[in-house]
Chains A and B, each alone.
Chain A
Amino acid sequence: MPVSLDPGTDALNYAVLRKEKMPTDVIMPQMGESIFEGTITKWLKQPGDKVTRDEPLFEISTDKVDAEIPAPASGVLKEVRVQPGATVQVNTVVGVIDEAGAATATAPAPSAPAPQVGSPTPNPAAAGGDTGGQPTTAAPAAPATAPPATGPATDVIMPQMGESIFEGTITKWLKQPGEKVTRDEPLFEISTDKVDAEIPAPASGVLREIKVQAGNTVQVNTVVATIGGNGAGAPTAPVAAPAAPPAPVGVAPSAPAPATAATSSVADEAERVRSSPLVRKIAADHSVDLRQVLGTGNGGRVTKEDIMAFIERAKSGVPQPAPKPVAPQAAPVAQPAPIAPVQPSSAAASVAPVAATPANKFAGVPGTIEPMSVMRKKISEHMTMSKRTSAHVHGVFEVDMTRIVKLREKMKNRFQESTGLKLTFTPFFARAVAHALRQWPIINSSVEGESIHYKRDINIGIAVALDWGLIVPVIKHADELSFVGLQRAVTDLGERARAKKLKPEDVQGGTFTITNPGIFGAKFGMPIISQPQVAIMGVGAITKKPWVVTDKDGNDLIAIRSMMHLSIGYDHRIIDGAVADQFMSVVKQYLENWPEPVL
């Protein structure tokens, strides 16, 4: 029967054959528990040379020792894989000895010797231990006048010669297979960098088999020989061991994919409502869909009070305030299932219908009903929440932009040539705002409970109108950027916003927002603050107007100027009108007297 040597198809047999019949590998020994590598300093034999077991074969040098390494087997040195001077990890195969003595010193691939005949795989590893069951500890001391005719076989194992030793090298066998041994009689010698030791036999009997020849390094607890009761037993007689049935790896039909994840998105959506472990537990206990609950906590979080009030109102039939929009994904699903099967508590019974209360009160009115997009829903939610949270006040300033319009007109070609960016008005506003925010840190703050959090960084959000809504990417550290840097950020964020390439962090962390209602001609807007910020500036359209100016001689003249309205929406909880106006006047001054070059 031809034996396949393809390890992919028959790894087990391959391994067995390797051990049984392949040439002997010469490996870099571990000469100490902390030694990971060794350097070959010299080969004492060359490929083609005959070697005898235990004859010095090569020399190594490690951090701890320099040592001559004996050949692990007799034969012909077939191959030297690691040349002198090279450093390799322990257990690396550094050479190969062909035990058969065949002088095919250059055989490139391991040539497969004839396999053992017979279908049960010969398993020498099982030969020793298979006769008497499991290896046993040594029998009680008995004068080993004669080995018992039968008896348990005892494994001889590589001892651990130090707490962190992993391997040991057998340097010499003091007994040969078939010889009698007495317990505690020296059986073999091992070597490490710390000790060279004679290892006594663990039991009396006959050395049946040497599994690891001298010169080899094996892990501790490896069975290196067996001592058996049967003195007559041929040491290497292969014992027929039933081949292990191959594991059905790769044969098993691929299991059907677990339940598709498609249905989970609804539950995920509910989870995304900001709440707390307690609120989620109460919601589950009362079968409340958290999306229906108005959150009044920080960032719109549903608090314990919110959900308790919700349940209370549901019980008493009071209408719920400002329910949040239902997630669009929920539409095809009849009704979002309550989280987990809920035990019908007394409260639950009356609460259950609550989820359905925002029923369509315009039912019957002609028209089409479309669920809001996620973005729409978020904007809706956020704007409502902001109006509810902040005490909005607005102010409007008129700014003479003539200097900037002229500067931009003059510079825009050069700017594009040297930076590749289109010069827009936005970085002028961002620069002026950053300048003013530094002077009025309260505008760059947020309300946290009863505290005011003055933000260290100035991160300016720029509202970008999109066909499908509105998004506000943020210029981080706007006060630290050069003018060109600001324009680059504005261009980049705008482009990516329109290409839907913004990353989550691009829209987070804003401390102040600039919006641009003038883009379609509005004189000014009254923008809603983006929470948790406390102010937002709206930029109106720039139009040429007759304007009274005073020349340097003090004469008033009517001139054609490029004028613009700037509006400020601010949170009167912490910002009073005087403060907001002074802030805006800094912005105005900066723009009207633009002080810096754009390149």
Chain B
Amino acid sequence: MAAVTYLEAIRQGLWEEMERDPSVFCIGEDIGIYGGAFKVTEGLIDRFGPERVVDTPIAETAIVNAAFGAGLTGLRPVAEFQFIDFISCAFNQITNLLAKAHYRWNAPAPIVLRGPCGGGVHGGPFHSQNPEMYFVHTPGLKVVCPATAYDAKGLIKSAIRDNNPVCFFEHKFLYRRIKEELPSEDYVVPIGKARVAREGRDLTIVTYAAMLYVALDAADALAREGLEAEVIDLRTLLPLDRETVAESVKKTNRVLILHEDTRTGGIAGEIAACINEDCFDFLDAPIARVTSQDTPVPFSPPLEAAFLPNAEAVAREARRLRGW
């Protein structure tokens, strides 16, 4: 069986869910004949028809509002943002209409809001962002950031089957860069469960999305120096799997949080607070974080490279923790 890219894994997930459940449909810009800006929905219109692959005007608020309305009639819309940067255009709709609906008036909003996020592709300030924390801060949403093809497929299926609005952030750097063989049978990856991507005893690196690979690279380098890092892939940011993080910290006593999102208000702060609450007594060093800088994502490759965290920075910080 052939290896499948991260992007194809998402397409497979959409395809299989649309076949499994006719109440699933896709809505977004250029997702029909063109197959989406990144071709995630390619072929869906031929298979499921224009009724279930709805091309829209360039109007993010209309996409989200219409998805919500269709959800009220018992359907499961999957709304695509061409770049996740444009999710800010529908910020009010997502945070006020969708996120609060169930709590306010008992109306479920079973909607997936998906799109490509992340930098490393020289997309500049408006095609590289990681806006997850705006939504992690909003009660009522779920926020999912898969890092592997396996998880991308398993989580898009879980997101579609979920009865809540799920922000599903696909890292565009990974779209065609990673491949793996996927099980032939139907499977889902549960939302809200982190994964230990690499075991280690000396230090825990908590991360997600494309930074998983940076963490794994750093862990390899550190292993050559005799420092065995455990790497946790969060997979879901909201609800956060604090148990898995705490379990690892109790084992390694040192923790480094790595994310591509900017530093201030990034999830590293939240995770650090959770660790303080859950396992302060097990810390043998301060909690460290490696993140991108508090600036917009710069465009020029050398600037972007300096902006993004890398394996060297992670290894350096890990060594500092060890020597602390």
Contacts and interface: CB of A to CB of B under 8 A. Distances in A.
Interface of A: 276-281, 297-298, 301, 303-304, 448-451
A278 B320 contact: no
A448 B322 CA distance: 11
18 contacts: A276-B285, A277-B280, A277-B281, A278-B253, A278-B281, A280-B281, A281-B282, A298-B323, A303-B324, A304-B284, A448-B320, A449-B319, A449-B320, A449-B322, A449-B323, A449-B324, A450-B323, A451-B316
A301 B322 CA distance: 12
Contacts of A298: 323-324
Nearest to A299: B324
Nearest to A296: B323
Contacts of B253: 276, 278, 304
B284 A451 contact: no
B284 A303 contact: yes
Contact of A276 (B283, B319, B322, B323): B283
**Of B253, B280, B316, B323, which is in contact with the most chain A CB atoms at under 10 Å from its CB?**
B323
A222 to B, nearest CB: 33
Nearest to A447: B323
B282 A277 contact: yes
A593 B284 CA distance: 52
B281 A297 contact: no
A359 B323 CA distance: 32
B323 A297 contact: yes
Contacts of B285: 276
Contacts of B323: 297-298, 448-450
Nearest to B281: A281
A431 to B, nearest CB: 34
Contacts of A448: 320, 323
Nearest to B283: A277
Contacts of A449: 319-320, 322-324
A297 B254 CA distance: 14
A451 B280 contact: no
Contacts of A278: 253, 281-284
B32 to A, nearest CB: 47
Of the listed residues B282, B283, B284, B320, the one surrounded by the most CB atoms of chain A closer than 10 A to its CB is B284
Given A278-B253, A298-B324, A450 B319 contact: yes
Contacts of B282: 277-278, 281
B319 A451 contact: yes
Given A277-B280, A277-B282, A451-B316, 8 more contacts: A278-B253, A278-B281, A280-B281, A281-B282, A297-B323, A298-B324, A449-B319, A449-B320
A284 to B, nearest CB: 9
Contacts of A451: 316, 319-320
A279 B320 contact: no
Q: Tell me which of A276, A304, A450 has the highest count of chain B C-beta atoms within 10 A of its own C-beta.
A: A276
Contacts of A279: 284
Interface in B10-59: none
Nearest to A302: B284
A451 B282 CA distance: 26
Identify whether the interface residues of B are mostly helix, strand, loop, or mixed: helix
Nearest to B225: A450
A451 B323 CA distance: 10
A303 B319 CA distance: 15
A276 B324 CA distance: 10
Contacts of B319: 449-451
Nearest to B320: A449
- The 6 A-B pairs at the shortest CB distance, nearest first, are namely A449-B323, A281-B281, A278-B284, A304-B284, A276-B284, A277-B283
Nearest to B315: A450
Contacts of B320: 448-449, 451
Contacts of A281: 281-282
B247 to A, nearest CB: 15
Interface string B241-262: 0000000000001000000000
Interface in B269-311: 280-285
Nearest to B250: A278
A448 B253 CA distance: 20
A304 B280 CA distance: 14
A298 B319 CA distance: 12
Nearest to B323: A449
A276 B316 CA distance: 21
Nearest to A275: B284
Q: With a 10 A CB-CB cut-off, give which of A277, A279, A303, A448 has the most chain B CB atoms.
A: A277
B311 to A, nearest CB: 16
A303 B324 CA distance: 8
Contacts of B280: 277
A298 to B, nearest CB: 5
B283 A297 contact: no
B301 to A, nearest CB: 27
Interface string B133-168: 000000000000000000000000000000000000
Contacts of A280: 281
A47 to B, nearest CB: 58
A301 B324 contact: yes
A237 B320 CA distance: 80
Nearest to B286: A276
A276 B323 CA distance: 13
A281 B249 CA distance: 15
Contacts of A277: 280-284
A451 B324 CA distance: 12
Nearest to A305: B284
B276 to A, nearest CB: 9
Contacts of B322: 449
A94 B210 CA distance: 69
Contacts of B324: 297-298, 301, 303, 449
Contacts of A297: 323-324
Nearest to A298: B324
A349 B282 CA distance: 23
Nearest to B324: A298
A154 B285 CA distance: 64
A280 B323 CA distance: 18
A279 B282 CA distance: 8
Contacts of A303: 284, 324
A280 B282 CA distance: 9
A568 to B, nearest CB: 26
A277 B278 CA distance: 12
A169 to B, nearest CB: 36
A449 B284 CA distance: 15
B204 to A, nearest CB: 13
A301 B283 CA distance: 14
The residue among A280, A281, A449 with the most chain B CB atoms within 10 A of its own CB is A449
A89 B306 CA distance: 56
A280 B281 CA distance: 8
A390 to B, nearest CB: 15
A298 B322 CA distance: 10
A279 B324 CA distance: 13
Nearest to A278: B284
Nearest to B318: A449
A278 B280 CA distance: 8
A297 B320 CA distance: 11
B226 to A, nearest CB: 12
A214 to B, nearest CB: 42
A303 B283 CA distance: 10
A281 B323 CA distance: 20
A278 B281 CA distance: 5
A397 to B, nearest CB: 33
B317 to A, nearest CB: 10
A451 B315 CA distance: 12
Nearest to B322: A449
A280 B322 CA distance: 18
Nearest to B285: A276
A401 to B, nearest CB: 41
A296 to B, nearest CB: 10
B315 to A, nearest CB: 10
B164 to A, nearest CB: 31
